Amino acid sequence: QVQLAESGGGLGQAGGSLKLSCTDSGGTNIRYFMGWFRQAPGKERDVVAAITWAGTSTWYADSVKDRFTISRDKAKNTLYLQMNSLKPEDTAVYYCAAGVAGLFSRLDGYSWWGQGTQVTVSS
């Protein structure tokens, strides 16, 4: 069973940086792709960035391209999201997720989810 837990959220300032982490403690050998999603109050959950199992291919939403970087350390079973040049509109609950089928850039491709971590960006 894949068990995901995010950390690293909190309060950031516009123009600043935050780094999120997501660790899988399930101990499985599933070769899954992973992604970061976010959901602001009253809005749908959207994919922010995604990465393949091997880490050789990534995808970013236009709104975060050139500001956010997704990466993974398979030896540590950990996914990261480095967020730079933060904007108030980045404020949301951020979720990490893992999947094995479908497109890694689409929400419906994901089967396992973390509980989410709040990111608030002040102006």
Residue 102 has pLDDT above 90, yes or no: no
C-alpha span between 86 and 107 (Å, rounded)? 23
> Strands 117-122 and 10-13, how do they pair?
parallel
In this prediction, residue 22 has a pLDDT band, given cuts at 50, 70 and 90, of very high
Q: What pLDDT score was predicted for residue 4? A: 96
Report residue 29's pLDDT band, with 50, 70 and 90 as the boundaries: confident
Of 72, 116, 91, 115, the residue nearest 16 (C-alpha) = 91
Rg of the chain over all Cα atoms, to the nearest angstrom: 13
CB 50 within 8 A of CB 65: no
Calpha distance 94→112 (Å, rounded) = 14
Q: Tokens at residue 28, please?
A: 């499985």
Around Cβ 50, how many Cβ atoms within 10 Å?
24
